[in-house]
């Protein structure tokens, strides 16, 4: 099933025609209503968009960055009158002030449509009962998925995060067929389900719509095996309005972009030069229909690539590959570039260890070192020095062969590392302590 088939299956030329028309509109709208963009568009000679004749002319427009949101906190990038704003969301604000996002009623309607597309592509139907285990509040994920699921016609349970035993009770008693959560919490919940002792037959779960953090293929497979469900991924962020920017279909061959509402580009992170189809680089996104807080060429810092070929599912909007890391969570250890997702992919395929780990970065004599703490599955292994040392060396050798980096691996007892009910925070940087 395709939620908005007439739009999601348009020929490429028609998609690009819509994008060009809306790009011209949003440039003028930003020029007229956002002081920051008025000045930048004036400085670069684009002005009110008259210079935009084709989609590639977007390259004349300067990038927007996270710093622009911080510098214009809270409402400096708002384009509508505040009397027309009906909702305010914000990021977690783990570094300084939070990133705010504001919405007009029309923005919320479009947002719900985009999320409904993602949910439908992921296999949700009006017959499903969906338990949303994201934390409700300023975070865009919970309410974003909530209203999108309702627009699709599914029944929604706003469970929020935490209280795991109650989550499991609702899954069993209320006939829940789909769960929305971070991959980390979904994995934790699937392990708690095993420990609770109820057979899988007591659950009606058939699918998971996961997001808010990267989910490697290996982690996805583990969640699917534990729950006996099918998992799909989706993508979004506060700066772009939240979830619904792109999402998996049944083919799981890249996440379909809502190209009539978002214009994606891939650039070289260092030079800012636009890259071609299939080339790996940093994702840049322009919102095409957002009125409350439109964004021109936002640098997401996510590393991915785009595929513009029609998908086997029938959808024609371009697909973005799973994010391969971020330019800002890339670790540089002894001159080697390392992404946490690379480490996770290695660890999750090694027998005898659990999929729970922490990364500790330290500095001594001006040299950085990386320690990885990993849980073993069987606590009795900790009493067998020979086996424990052998496992530790195997992990270190595997990491070195793939990453090209020597790391220290510390094996710890089961359930001793922190479990995350929201976004996993696996990196502890001790270099400045």
Highest averaged pLDDT of the listed ranges 145-159, 192-206, 367-381: 145-159
Distances (CA, A) of 171 to 63, 152, 162, 186, 275: 44, 21, 14, 12, 45
How far apart are the C-alpha atoms of 34 and 98, rounded to whole Å? Answer: 20
Asked whether the predicted pLDDT for residue 433 surpasses 60, the reply is no
**DSSP designation for 62:** P
Mean pLDDT value across residues 204-220: 89
What b/e string do you get for 251-260 counting C-beta neighbours within 10 Å, with b at 16 or more? ebebbbbbbb
CB neighbours of 362 closer than 8 A, spacing ≥ 6?
368, 369, 371, 430, 431
pLDDT tens digits along 148-201: 999 999 999 999 988 999 999 999 999 999 999 988 889 889 989 989 999 999
Q: What is the DSSP string of 83-146?
A: GGEEEEEE---SSSSPPEEEEEHHHHHHHHHHHHHHHHHTT--TT-EEEE-SPPSS-HHHHHHH
Q: Domain for residue 130, yes or no?
A: yes
pLDDT value at residue 66: 92
Query: What would the 3-class secondary structure string for 187-226 be?
Result: HHHHHHHHHHCCCHHHCCCCEEEECCCCCCHHHHHHHHHH
Do 313 and 357 sit in the same domain of this protein?
no
Express as a percent the part of the chain with pLDDT over 90: 77
Do 172 and 252 sit in the same domain of this protein?
yes
Among 13-17, 138-142, 264-268, 335-339, the minimum mean pLDDT is found in 335-339
Mean pLDDT of the chain: 93
Residue with tokens 């279909």: 249
- Which CATH number fits the domain that encloses residue 376? 3.30.300.30
pLDDT tens digits along 3-15: 999 999 999 999 9
How far apart are the C-alpha atoms of 36 and 116, rounded to whole Å? Answer: 32
Q: Domain for residue 283, yes or no?
A: no
Would you tell me the crossing angle of helices 35-43 and 12-33 to the nearest 10 degrees? 110
pLDDT value at residue 92: 61
Do 70 and 174 sit in the same domain of this protein?
yes
Mean pLDDT value across residues 334-360: 86
Do 379 and 314 sit in the same domain of this protein?
no
Q: Domain for residue 350, yes or no?
A: yes
pTM of the model: 0.84
Asked whether the predicted pLDDT for residue 341 surpasses 90, the reply is no
Mean pLDDT value across residues 230-259: 96
Q: Check whether the bond before 100 is cis (ω within 30° of 0).
A: no
Mean pLDDT value across residues 346-361: 91
Q: Domain for residue 168, yes or no?
A: yes
Q: Domain for residue 274, yes or no?
A: no
Backbone angles phi, psi at 210, to 5 degrees: -105, 150
Q: Domain for residue 279, yes or no?
A: no
Mean pLDDT value across residues 406-416: 94
Do 199 and 73 sit in the same domain of this protein?
yes
pLDDT value at residue 329: 74
Do 314 and 380 sit in the same domain of this protein?
no
Q: Domain for residue 277, yes or no?
A: no
Contact 296, 51 (CB under 8 A): no
Contact 146, 158 (CB under 8 A): yes
Do 202 and 240 sit in the same domain of this protein?
yes
**By residue range, what is the domain housing residue 398?**
331-429
Closest to 40 measured CA to CA, from 70, 18, 65, 21:
65
Among 184-193, 253-262, 360-369, 402-411, the minimum mean pLDDT is found in 360-369
How far apart are the C-alpha atoms of 342 and 336, rounded to whole Å? Answer: 13
Do 128 and 95 sit in the same domain of this protein?
yes
How far apart are the C-alpha atoms of 367 and 260, rounded to whole Å? Answer: 48
Do 343 and 207 sit in the same domain of this protein?
no
pLDDT value at residue 366: 62
Do 259 and 343 sit in the same domain of this protein?
no
Q: Domain for residue 362, yes or no?
A: yes
Contact 264, 275 (CB under 8 A): no
pLDDT tens digits along 69-78: 999 999 999 9
pLDDT value at residue 181: 94
Tokens of 411: 């094996």
Length, in residues, of the chain: 433
Asked whether the predicted pLDDT for residue 94 surpasses 60, the reply is no
- Which CATH number fits the domain that encloses residue 236? 3.40.50.12780
Do 6 and 101 sit in the same domain of this protein?
yes
> When comparing pLDDT for 342 and 365, which is higher?
342
Q: What is the number of structural domains in the chain? A: 2
Do 317 and 412 sit in the same domain of this protein?
no
């Amino acid at each position: 099933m395709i939620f908005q088939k007439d739009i999601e299956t348009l020929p490429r030329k028609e998609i690009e025609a819509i994008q060009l028309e809306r790009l011209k509109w949003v440039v003028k709208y930003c020029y007229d209503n956002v002081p920051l963009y008025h000045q930048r568009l004036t400085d670069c000679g684009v002005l009110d968009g008259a210079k935009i004749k084709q989609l590639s002319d977007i390259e004349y427009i300067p990038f927007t960055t996270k710093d622009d949101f911080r510098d214009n906190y809270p409402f400096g990038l708002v384009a509508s009158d505040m009397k027309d704003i009906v909702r305010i969301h914000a990021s977690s604000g783990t570094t300084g002030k939070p990133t705010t996002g504001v919405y007009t009623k029309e923005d919320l309607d479009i947002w719900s449509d985009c999320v409904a597309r993602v949910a439908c592509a992921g296999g949700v139907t009006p017959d499903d009962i969906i338990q949303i285990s994201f934390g409700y509040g300023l975070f865009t994920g919970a309410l974003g998925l909530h209203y999108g699921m309702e627009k699709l016609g599914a029944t929604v349970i706003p469970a929020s995060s935490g209280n795991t035993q109650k989550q499991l009770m609702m899954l069993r008693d209320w006939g829940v067929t789909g769960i929305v959560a971070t991959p980390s919490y979904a994995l934790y919940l699937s392990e708690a389900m095993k420990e609770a002792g109820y057979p899988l037959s007591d659950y009606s779960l058939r699918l998971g719509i996961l997001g808010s953090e990267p989910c490697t293929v290996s982690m996805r497979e583990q969640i699917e095996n534990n729950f006996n469900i099918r998992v799909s991924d989706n993508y979004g962020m506060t700066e772009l309005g939240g979830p619904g920017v792109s999402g998996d279909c049944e083919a799981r061959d890249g996440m379909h972009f809502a190209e009539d509402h978002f214009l994606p580009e891939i650039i070289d992170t260092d030079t800012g030069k636009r890259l071609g189809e299939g080339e790996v680089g940093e994702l840049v996104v322009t919102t095409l229909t957002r009125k409350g807080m439109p964004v021109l060429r936002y640098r997401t810092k996510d590393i991915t690539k785009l595929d513009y070929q029609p998908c086997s599912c029938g959808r024609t909007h371009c697909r973005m590959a799973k994010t391969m890391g971020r330019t800002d969570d890339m670790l540089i250890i002894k001159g080697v570039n390392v992404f946490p997702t690379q480490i996770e992919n290695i660890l999750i395929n090694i027998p005898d260890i659990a999929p729970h780990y922490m990364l500790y970065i330290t500095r001594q004599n001006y040299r950085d070192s990386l320690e990885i703490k990993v849980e073993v599955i069987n606590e009795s292994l900790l009493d067998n020095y020979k086996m424990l040392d052998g496992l530790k060396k195997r992990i270190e050798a595997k990491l070195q062969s793939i990453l090209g980096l020597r790391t220290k691996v510390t094996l710890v007892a089961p359930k001793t590392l922190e479990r995350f009910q929201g976004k996993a925070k696996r990196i502890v940087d001790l270099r400045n302590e």
